[in-house]
A and B are shown apart, each in its own frame.
Chain A
Amino acid sequence: MADIHEAPHDVTPLPTYFFVFIALAAGTLLTWYASTINLGWANTPIALFIATTKAVLVILFFMHVIHSTRLTWVVIIASFVWLGMLFVLTFADYLTRFWAID
């Protein structure tokens, strides 16, 4: 990447920060509200979805990843992929442990 050698000067415009902040606050209220109504099985995915969205906003804008090098993206994605491997393969055991053998 060509722009490495000068300190990068892409300063995020103020409105971006405020919009993100408002979205985060709204997400918090929404997730709290959604938890008070019984949606059956859907409650959990909704809460997780909102949390993930909030996290992505923070990562992209507050942590400037949207302007960052490809390498930064790789680092972040890799860490979640690795965590995913831990979850998927461990659950593969727990969820099939008592399956019948035939």
Chain B
Amino acid sequence: MTSVTYHDVQFLEPAKTRNYLNVDYGALSWLLTKDHKRIGILYMVSISVMFILGGFFALMMRLELLTPEGDLLTSDTYNKFFTLHGIIMIFFFLIPSIPAVLGNFILPIQLGAKDLAFPRINLLSWYLYMIGAFTGLLVVIIGGVDTGWTFYTPFSTQYSNTHVIGTTFGAFIVGFSSILTGLNFIVTIHRMRAPGLTWYRLPLFVWAMYATSLVQLLATPILAITLVMLMIERFIHVGIFDPALGGDPLLFQHMFWFYSHPAVYIMILPAMGVASEVVAAFTRKKIFGYTFVAYSSLAIAFLGFLVWAHHMFVAGISVYSAMIFSFLSYFVAVPSAIKVFNWTATLYKGSVSWQTPMLYILGFIGLFTMGGVTGLFLAALGLDVHVTDTYFVVAHFHYIMVGGAVMGYFAGLHYWWPKITGRMYPEWWARLGALLVFVGFNLTFFPQFILGYLGMPRRYHAYAPEFQVLNVMSTAGASILAVGYMLPLVYLLWSLRFGRKAGTNPWGAVGLEWTTSSPPPKDNFHETPVVTWEAYDYPAMLKAMGETQNV
């Protein structure tokens, strides 16, 4: 994959001005680059490979689940597939997706900076990601791992005879990559804003990335140390989490979820940031309740740390602490609600354009709401007892992560594609893709809510026959979804060569990234910008920027 993009990028006609793509050529100029834009592209290529791989495992699972009997795959293979699907999609795809690709590329430009604060660390974080990802791939090749993405002990430490250490090591390394990205963003946002760019003039994407970085920094170390303990336990057979040797398996769950619940906000907050950008750009309007939306990102980042044990309601924790965690879980829903309502209200009296990024985001808002409110079902203690570890949970998180976060990523990708590559993608195909994704998605995952309430457990390779019809629907949906995802892969690559040239500001949007040429020059701006307008202040900004194309 790396070489494909490299070649495709070479085929770009050189722009009149020198830009970050044509300053120098050759594999080394990419592999040793310290330019945040090029690193963003390196990430884009890497996570795309991961997404296809994770999607492949998903499709194989869906095929297996077409019939109640476990006939296509053996149960061990199935177990490995959902484990790899979960690990790849979460650690190797979704967590780095928006931050490391779009954040890397766009954030410094939105701040009016020449680069991130620590370009070398940025490159290092990509290499760490690659080492982690290759470790993961190696595990796939030498036989896989079957613990589930949650690595619950003592199964993972004493009973599984697959490659647990290799996989956790991969996740551990990728964790550091994530930490370094967050560190870079925090410092950059604090220290490298352009003159005049005060906090309340920042685009909401920056606020969202700031909140995301906080979570990355404060949660990931706990995952790292937990995985270290897991590896030690498995390696020398001592009992940190193994009850046979005095350990408590619930301690592992506590520590794992102290990371992994906040991690779900690492996945959704950036998508929310994209949503704010796209809604503003395609309504040509200031986001309704800007400060509420900005602070709700921080509130989610903070409150998200206080709810982790809602994954453990039936695991044997104290009923009193379960109550505390349930109570707090409802608090995170408040800032999420604020965002949903404010985006919707922004449409009111807007100038709404139905272009592809907006289509994705309109879908995002609705599907995120559905995923979010089903989270409320799960956070209700007595009800969770019934639905936990069933397909209801699977549907809940796919609604948020696929319907929400992945849709957000695709929206951002389309929105900034002209800036990144200097080319437009074919609008008609892109809209078709968005539609297919929306339809296929709902067909895949809505039946799973019903399946879950009926009691179909997750991580089941074979299931009771009465669940078949809904499973068939789900599998059918997944095939549509796969086509929906295949389209962008094709037309985006196509556009690199044949796409119409994008001007500086194809959408007529505001924000510093739309004031520099597409693709941007190596140092992002021809001269340091000075910001004199509020965020999304269209009249002022358009005046300051002069003429725009396509308005």
Query: Closest 6 CB pairs between A and B?
Result: A93-B321, A96-B318, A97-B318, A92-B321, A96-B320, A93-B317
B316 contacts across to A, CB distance below 8 A: 97
CB pair A86–B258 under 8 Å, yes or no, is yes
CB pair A99–B306 under 8 Å, yes or no, is no
**Candidates A82, A85, A99; contact of B320 at CB < 8 Å:** A99
> Closest residue to B258 on the A side, CB-wise?
A86
A93 to B222, CA, bound (A): 18
CB pair A89–B325 under 8 Å, yes or no, is yes
Q: Considering residues B190, B251, B317, B318, which has the most beta carbons from chain A within 10 angstroms of its beta carbon?
A: B318
Say how far B154's CB is from chain A's closest CB, in angstroms: 18
A residues 44-93 near B (Cβ < 8 Å) are 71, 78-79, 82, 85-86, 89-90, 92-93
CB pair A89–B309 under 8 Å, yes or no, is yes
The 0/1 profile, CB within 8 Å of A marked 1, for residues 236-263 of chain B is: 0000000000000011001000100000
Interface residues of B (CB under 8 A from A): 190, 218, 222, 250-251, 254, 258, 305-306, 308-309, 316-321, 324-325
Query: Is A101 interfacial (CB 8 A cutoff)?
Result: yes
**Dominant SS among interface residues on chain A:** helix
CB pair B319–A101 under 8 Å, yes or no, is yes
A79 to B179, CA, bound (A): 14
Other A-B contacts than A90-B251, A93-B318, A98-B318, 20 sampled, CB-CB below 8 A, are A71-B190, A79-B218, A82-B218, A85-B306, A86-B258, A89-B309, A89-B325, A92-B320, A92-B321, A93-B250, A93-B317, A93-B321, A94-B318, A96-B318, A96-B321, A97-B316, A97-B317, A97-B318, A99-B320, A101-B319
B321 contacts across to A, CB distance below 8 A: 89, 92-93, 96-97
**Candidates A85, A86, A92; contact of B318 at CB < 8 Å:** A92
A85 to B305, CA, bound (A): 8
Q: Considering residues A90, A93, A94, A101, which has the most beta carbons from chain B within 10 angstroms of its beta carbon?
A: A93
CB pair B254–A90 under 8 Å, yes or no, is yes
Say how far B317's CB is from chain A's closest CB, in angstroms: 5
Say how far B66's CB is from chain A's closest CB, in angstroms: 41
Say how far A3's CB is from chain B's closest CB, in angstroms: 14
A78 to B325, CA, bound (A): 21
A99 contacts across to B, CB distance below 8 A: 318, 320
Say how far B2's CB is from chain A's closest CB, in angstroms: 36
**Dominant SS among interface residues on chain B:** helix
B218 contacts across to A, CB distance below 8 A: 78-79, 82
> Closest residue to A95 on the B side, CB-wise?
B318
B325 contacts across to A, CB distance below 8 A: 89
A53 to B164, CA, bound (A): 41
CB pair A89–B306 under 8 Å, yes or no, is yes
A79 to B219, CA, bound (A): 10
> Closest residue to A75 on the B side, CB-wise?
B186
Given contacts A93-B254, A96-B320, contact A82 B190 (CB under 8 A): no
Interchain residue pairs with CB less than 8 A apart (16):
A71-B190, A78-B218, A82-B305, A85-B305, A86-B222, A89-B306, A89-B308, A89-B325, A90-B254, A93-B254, A93-B321, A96-B318, A96-B321, A97-B316, A97-B317, A98-B318
> Closest residue to A85 on the B side, CB-wise?
B305
A96 to B319, CA, bound (A): 8
B318 contacts across to A, CB distance below 8 A: 92-99
CB pair A89–B317 under 8 Å, yes or no, is no
A78 to B308, CA, bound (A): 19
A80 to B254, CA, bound (A): 18
A5 to B521, CA, bound (A): 27
Say how far B347's CB is from chain A's closest CB, in angstroms: 36
A79 contacts across to B, CB distance below 8 A: 218
A82 contacts across to B, CB distance below 8 A: 218, 305
A residues 6-52 near B (Cβ < 8 Å) are none
Say how far A73's CB is from chain B's closest CB, in angstroms: 14
Say how far B246's CB is from chain A's closest CB, in angstroms: 15
A82 to B259, CA, bound (A): 12
A98 to B318, CA, bound (A): 7
> Closest residue to A92 on the B side, CB-wise?
B321
A101 contacts across to B, CB distance below 8 A: 319
A99 to B320, CA, bound (A): 9
A92 contacts across to B, CB distance below 8 A: 318, 320-321, 324
Say how far A71's CB is from chain B's closest CB, in angstroms: 7
A85 to B320, CA, bound (A): 17
Say how far B130's CB is from chain A's closest CB, in angstroms: 29
A93 to B250, CA, bound (A): 10
A101 to B250, CA, bound (A): 20
B258 contacts across to A, CB distance below 8 A: 86, 90
A86 to B221, CA, bound (A): 12
> Closest residue to B214 on the A side, CB-wise?
A78
A18 to B222, CA, bound (A): 36
Say how far A98's CB is from chain B's closest CB, in angstroms: 8
A89 contacts across to B, CB distance below 8 A: 306, 308-309, 321, 324-325
A96 to B309, CA, bound (A): 14
B251 contacts across to A, CB distance below 8 A: 90
> Closest residue to B307 on the A side, CB-wise?
A89
A17 to B312, CA, bound (A): 49
Say how far B527's CB is from chain A's closest CB, in angstroms: 20
